[in-house]
Structure 1
Amino acid sequence: MKILVLNSGSSSLKYQLFEMPNEQPICSGLVDRIGLEQSTITHKNFKSGKEEKFLIEAPIPNHESGLLQVTELLKDPEKGSISDNSEIEAIGHRVVHGGEQFASTTLITEEVKAKIKELFALAPLHNPPNYLGITVAERVFPKAKQVAVFDTAFHQTMPPLAYRFALPKSMYTELGIRAYGFHGTSHQYVSKKAISYLNNPKAKIITIHLGNGCSMTAIDSGKSIDTSMGLGPMAGLIMGTRAGDIDPSIIFHLINERGYTAQEVNDILNKKSGLLGLSGFSDMRDVKNAIKEGNQDAALAYELYAYRIQKYLGAYIAVLKGLDAIVFTAGIGENDPDMREAVCRGMEFFGINLDPVLNSQKSQSIREVNFKDSQVKIFVIPTNEELEIGKQAYELVRK
């Protein structure tokens, strides 16, 4: 069975085509820097044990344009892997926010789409492109079963101590206001890898997902018990354009004293803050280039980014009451050794001892970057949300 997986991020679109159940990737790709200058599509084919790589530079103003270009690539005589759309039997979609309505993978119906749309306000950077991916895929692949895998599902194991806010009870019982958590598919995938590597099903692990969106999760015995994002994917760590944790009084000050509308404040916190607000750049690669040129705003942004991660590390060690491993994953977590060093710097008190030599090396598989005598293992584990989504989609549609 051929299953296509679509993973629409806030500024990117990852895709993989799998032959299931053997989990064999047929092709994969990344549509990067959507809506920014120098947008690209990196497309890879896997044929006869060999990898063919193609780089396409093209303006990609939005997610719909990106997805339509991907479907053309899949059928391209030279670069593609299928001759007809009907070869794809199912499409697994990453959907960021499932609220309390969706605690597991589900077949997409009109009712499911309506509920995903209702949650736009809680994940304004993600659920709209997720929804758009579904609607475009339904048009392009009308015979395929569409499956939603929700980022929030993995965090449904959190206890009330972690997901409840100190607000009137009715706001939870009647309005569903609570912490849901996100990047669950990624946190679940890399924590499984770490548990297997450690050969310890009861391991206490902190997973650190650093991409355009960023989050951390405290995992005990394979279950999420706390996570940095909340009602929507804006709380917690500093991100590409999202502010992360702020004093809520800032919002009321801007509205009541400075004349901003609620929508303007929402746009600022979601789209104009984070690395972009601090430095003028939303992409960490651009931030680091600016630092090399002596940009002090970029240097401060980089330091603040690492500082916030350190604060959550301390908090989650307390929540877990111990720690066996930390995991760096996603674009920045996997590819920026300087950020890993900045996060681990001064954390020896907690048994976290980074080996700078191992940290500087590159690998496409799980690796340790700690000194041998480090009490806590420090892993770099490439995330593969697409494979996890493909596996869950296959398990659902094959029944």
Structure 2
Amino acid sequence: MNKDKLLVINPGSTSTKVAVFKDELLLWTGTLTHSTGALKEFNNIIEQFQFRKKTIERAVLNKGYALEEFKAVVARGGLLKPISGGTYIVNDAMLQDLRNGTYGEHACNLGALIAKEIAGPLGINAYIVDPVVVDELEPLARLSGIPEVPRRSIFHALNQKAMARRYCRENNQRYEDVNLLVVHLGGGISVGAHKKGRVIDVTNALDGEGPFSPERAGGIPVVELLKYFIEHGKDLDGIRKRLIGQGGLVAYLNTNDAREVEDMIEKGNGEAALVYEAMAYQIAKEIGAYAAVLSGKIDGIIVTGGLAFSSRLTTWIKERVDFIAPVVLYPGEDEMTALVEGVLRVFNGTEEALVY
């Protein structure tokens, strides 16, 4: 049986995306939903490992694919130590950090574990590509103002780098030769300064930097924020939820769905219009700040992610930043294709597989 296919695995909190590719060609993709009842059987994320693995294998076999057809398994990377961008072979050191939750627990930690468990008996490699912990910050970017709290690089690395490479392909350029600003607009918003193939500074939206987003508060006046939480008796978990899950559009308009916000605007809701434009305003300010990181020498500004489908939002952003560089829209994100592209760059010799 020919080993000519790639199995792609992308675990989320309550579902797992799975795909089968033959080189760049997508043969099948599906989302395997895991019920709340099923997941309640497990005390933590790592305990879900065998359950999710068997669910994936069953789905693949039901679609008519034999595991022996795969030449590699590639998964979304998890919470690991800071590493440079690229395609990594899953090894024991990586698996140990993921099992132990050394750098945090998240469903994406399961990806490499499952990929390796499937790949091992088949005698093939398992890989991850550009995980969220990609860290290519320059030393200047790490200082925060408080030595005990350095800035960290946590962002939509997989999609940002994939869209930067797409831009380069379409413009006959090499990623390693250009300077780009890449803006990911999703539940969280990140802006990255890509200098000749490396993300030398980026918004750590997870920890509260940058513009507010559909679910996140973004940068807040610090002293007033502290006073608010002290007055309301919030503990760390309560603070985190307020900033990361209950901020932004949720806080102002009780929804994280931009389509609902646009519907409010169409119906004459002035507050919705103000809040939505304020989000665009803050995004544009962040782009301007990161233009300074690259000394204004920028080949293009790429706007991607789910919110990039909103012409109203992207028009507001473009009106404020297109004097910096041409703005290109790549709405949505295709993480499965991005994962495959990373492995294929290793297979065709464009890149070398990295070791964790």
Partners of 1:16 and 1:310 in 2: CA distance: 35
Q: What corresponds to 1:90 in structure 2?
A: 72
Q: Which has the higher contact order (CA 8 A, sep 6+)?
A: 2
The equivalent of 1:119 in structure 2 is: 103
CA distance in 1, matches of 2:83, 2:353: 20
Which position in structure 2 is the counterpart of 1:54? none
| TM-score w.r.t. length of structure 2 | 0.76
Residue 108 of structure 2, aligned match among 106, 130, 136: 130
Q: Distance in 2 between matches of 1:227 and 1:154?
A: 10
Structure 2 equivalent of residue 290 of structure 1: 264
| SS of structure 2 residue aligned to 1:243 | coil
Deviation at 1:224, TM superposition (A): 1.6
Distance 2:314 2:27 in 1: 32
The amino acid across from 1:95 in the alignment is G
Residues 201-255 of structure 1: per-residue CA shift (max 9 Å, x gap):
443321111122321111222322221116x454223233222222333553244
* Separation in structure 2 between the aligned mates of residue 12 and residue 239 of structure 1, nearest angstrom: 23
Q: For residues 133 and 237 of structure 2, what CA distance do their matches in structure 1 show?
A: 28
Write out per-residue CA displacement over residues 117-166 of structure 1, whole angstroms, 9 at most, x where no aligned residue: 2222xxxxxx511024455666777746543334346541x211123322
Determine if contact 1:217/1:226 at 8 Å carries over to the other structure.
yes
User: What is the rounded CA distance, in whole Å, between the counterparts of 2:217 and 2:259 in structure 1?
Assistant: 18
Partner Cα distance (1:266, 1:304) in 2: 23
User: Paired residue for 2:197?
Assistant: 222
Could you tell me whether the CA contact under 8 Å between 1:214 and 1:237 is conserved in 2? yes
Task: Provide the residue aligned with 2:349 in structure 1.
Answer: none
Aligned to 1:163: 142
Deviation (angstroms), 1:311:
0.5
1:106 to 69, 75, 88: 88
The 1:179–1:302 alpha-carbon spacing in structure 2 relative to 1, beyond 3 Å, is: same
State the Cα distance separating 1:296 from its structure 2 match: 4.4
Aligned counterparts of 2:78 and 2:272: Cα–Cα separation in 1: 29
- Asked if structure 2 preserves the Cα contact closer than 8 Å seen for 1:242 and 1:274, the reply is yes
2:74 is the alignment partner of 1:74:
no
Mark the CA change 1:297 to 1:128 in structure 2 (over 3 Å): closer, same or farther.
Answer: farther
Q: Which runs of 4+ in 1 moved over 6 A?
A: 59-70, 138-142, 396-399
Displacement of 1:343 in angstroms is 0.9
**Shift of the alpha carbon at 1:96?**
5.0
Supply the AA of the counterpart residue of 1:164: L
In structure 1, stretches of 5+ residues that fail to align are 37-58, 121-126, 352-375
Q: 1:90 Cα deviation (Å)?
A: 3.3
Three-state SS of the structure 2 residue aligned to 1:236 is coil
Q: Does the 8 Å contact 1:254/1:265 carry over to 2?
A: no
Q: Distance in 2 between matches of 1:398 and 1:319?
A: 28
Retained in 2: the 8 A contact 1:327–1:379?
A: yes
| 1:311 alignment partner in structure 2 | 285
Task: Give the AA of the match of 2:328.
Answer: F
Q: Distance in 2 between matches of 1:139 and 1:280?
A: 42
Equivalent AA in structure 2 for residue 5 of structure 1: V
* CA deviations over 1:359-399 (Å, ceiling 9, x no partner): xxxxxxxxxxxxxxxxx322123544323322434537899
Give the gaps of 5 or more residues in structure 2: 347-351
Q: Which residue of 1 aligns with 2:168?
A: 195
List aligned pairs for 1:217-256, cutoff 5 A. Answer: 217-229=192-204, 232=206, 234-256=208-230
- Give how far 1:319 is off: 1.8
Any residues of structure 2 matched to 1:1-399 within 5 Å, and which? 1-8=4-11, 14-19=17-22, 22-29=23-30, 72-76=58-62, 80-82=63-65, 84-95=66-77, 97-100=79-82, 104-109=86-91, 111-116=93-98, 117-120=101-104, 128-134=106-112, 143=121, 145-152=125-132, 154-156=134-136, 158-168=137-147, 171=148, 177-201=150-174, 202-229=177-204, 232=206, 234-322=208-296, 323-333=298-308, 335-347=309-321, 350=323, 376-381=325-330, 383-393=333-343, 395=346
Q: Provide Cα deviations, 1:52-98, integer angstroms capped at 9, x if missing partner.
A: xxxxxxx999997998776554333xxx251x344445332222543
Q: CA RMSD in A?
A: 3.7
Alpha-carbon distance, 1:315 to partner: 1.0
Tell me by how many angstroms 1:18 deviates.
Answer: 1.7
Separation in 2, partners of 1:17, 1:280: 38
CA distance in 2, matches of 1:150, 1:233: 19
Amino acid at match of 2:24: E
Q: Return the offset for 1:261.
A: 0.9
Give the deviation of 1:260 after TM superposition: 1.1
Paired residues, what number?
330
**Identity over aligned residues, as a percent?**
23
The answer on whether the counterparts of 1:154 and 1:188 sit within 8 Å (CA) in structure 2 is: no
- For residue 262 of structure 1, report the CA deviation from its aligned partner: 1.4
